[in-house]
Amino acid sequence: MRFAYYPGCTLKTTARNYEDSALASARALGMELLELPRWNCCGTVHALAKDDVMHYLAPIRVLVRVEDMNREGILEGNYRLVTLCAMCYNTLKRANGVVKEDPDRMRKLHDIMEREQPYEGKVEVLHLLELLREMGFEKVAERVERPLTGLRVAPYYGCLLLRPRGFGIDNPDSPRVMEDLIRALGGEVVEFPYRARCCGSYHTVERKDIVAEAAYKILSQAREMGAEIVALACPLCSFNLSERQDEVEREFPGFRKIPVVYFTQLMALAFGLGEDVCGLDQNHVDPRPLLRSKSLI
């Protein structure tokens, strides 16, 4: 099955390991993710101000590309757009929801994007995790060649995969999609209360201290609950919970570093797609010693 796929800026720069492992894993499951032609940045955050029109331009242009792919016959009647980055997912999905119910805003947008085809509102924005759930985790389990036996994984959702209500991929109070996936891959799930607590997000640019405190709380709780590794789905969460561990170590003596990976890296590993595709060398806190100790690589 072929789907339109939106990578977003960070998957092409600091989160290559996320994209490579996701595309390979999807292929292993019979899904072909076709990168949108001429995509642009979605803006990373949804425009919350009610009178905002300008910041809808970027996400809506992206959605027009999906309709273009169908017009050009690259896709046939498949208007589902698959995302990986949690922020892109949220921004595209919310912008899509707003314009579909606000013809006035849509008209203003069409006036500004005069060289584009008008957006017909056909697109459905999805996260890869939703697609895996739809396919069935028993199907995912069937594809596993090297189960993650004995690996204690704490799934971390962060904010935008779950909130605000109505725009998340799962129940914001008791999500289970990542837990189900990890079990299907043969891993052991460590549930921890801070799995949906904010990592500090964009404060990482000029308030590293805020992020370090958030990361300390989240990661040390995951450790206390018995996790050996954290799995997540957002390149900003990943930066804050991995790279910023250097900061955490400086500010909170006694803190023990813990590897943080994308859920797709665990998938590619369990599917036996090889270490190269997993890109484990790009993770800031090296997960390889742990994985070697479990004979997983």
Shortest Cβ distance from residue 198 to another protein (Å)? 4
User: If we measure between CA atoms, which residue out of 130, 67, 55 comes closest to residue 98?
Assistant: 55
Terminal C-alpha separation, the chain: 30
Measured from the CB atom, is 35 or 202 closer to another protein? 202
Measured from the CB atom, is 19 or 228 closer to another protein? 19
Shortest Cβ distance from residue 243 to another protein (Å)? 7
By CB atoms closer than 10 A (0-12, 13-18, 19+), residue 246 is middle
What is the rounded distance in angstroms from the CA atom of residue 83 to the CA atom of residue 113? Answer: 23
Q: Report the interface residues with another protein, using CB under 8 A.
A: 8-10, 13-15, 41, 43-45, 48-51, 55, 85, 87, 159-160, 163-165, 172-173, 196-198, 200-206, 210, 213-214, 235-236, 239, 243
What is the rounded distance in angstroms from the CA atom of residue 203 to the CA atom of residue 163? Answer: 19
| Rg (alpha carbons) of the chain, rounded to whole number | 19
Shortest Cβ distance from residue 165 to another protein (Å)? 6
User: If we measure between CA atoms, which residue out of 182, 170, 218, 176 comes closest to residue 197?
Assistant: 218
- Sequence-distant (6+) residues with CB within 8 A of 181 are 129, 132, 137, 140, 155, 263, 267
Measured from the CB atom, is 114 or 173 closer to another protein? 173
Shortest Cβ distance from residue 84 to another protein (Å)? 12
Question: DSSP label at 136?
Answer: -
Measured from the CB atom, is 63 or 199 closer to another protein? 199
Measured from the CB atom, is 214 or 273 closer to another protein? 214
Measured from the CB atom, is 261 or 296 closer to another protein? 261
Shortest Cβ distance from residue 11 to another protein (Å)? 9
The half-sphere exposure of 26 on its side-chain side, counting CA atoms within 13 A, is 24
Measured from the CB atom, is 128 or 214 closer to another protein? 214
Shortest Cβ distance from residue 21 to another protein (Å)? 17
Shortest Cβ distance from residue 60 to another protein (Å)? 16
Concatenating the DSSP letter of every residue in 179-216 gives HHHHHHTTPEE---GGGGS---GGGGTT-HHHHHHHHH
